Amino acid sequence: MRLQILIPQYKETDEIIKPLLDSIALQQNVPMNEIGVIICNDGTDVYLTDKLLNAYPFSIEYHKEPHRGVSATRNACLDYSTADYVMFCDADDMFCNV
């Protein structure tokens, strides 16, 4: 995998993260088999649904971590990553749609 987008999650619901995942799926001239997403739950009891996690043409890994704060959660995402390149994105952000 070439790129993994690392997203820490703390109390963000499906409705909050869905626009971000939609914006990734809408990117043009990007082979979706070369992109992956890793979402790490930072110890909250708000879990993303399988329906959301399986709705996209790219792979999504979902990991649950103990609550240690956003920096530790970002580092946990890095630990799970196997891609050549990584980037961080907050759960309430979106990619530009051209």
pTM: 0.94
Q: Give the closest residue to 35 by CA, choosing from 4, 61, 57.
A: 4
- Cβ of 5: how many Cβ atoms within 10 Å? 23
Q: How far apart are CA 19 and CA 25, in angstroms?
A: 10
Q: Looking up tokens 């399986």, which residue turns up? A: 54
* pLDDT at residue 1 tops 90: no
Return the structure tokens found at 52: 């959301």
Greatest alpha-carbon pair distance for the chain in Å reads 37
pLDDT (tens digit per residue) in 25-64: 999 888 999 999 999 999 999 999 999 999 999 999 999 9
| Residue tagged 């995998």 (tokens) | 1
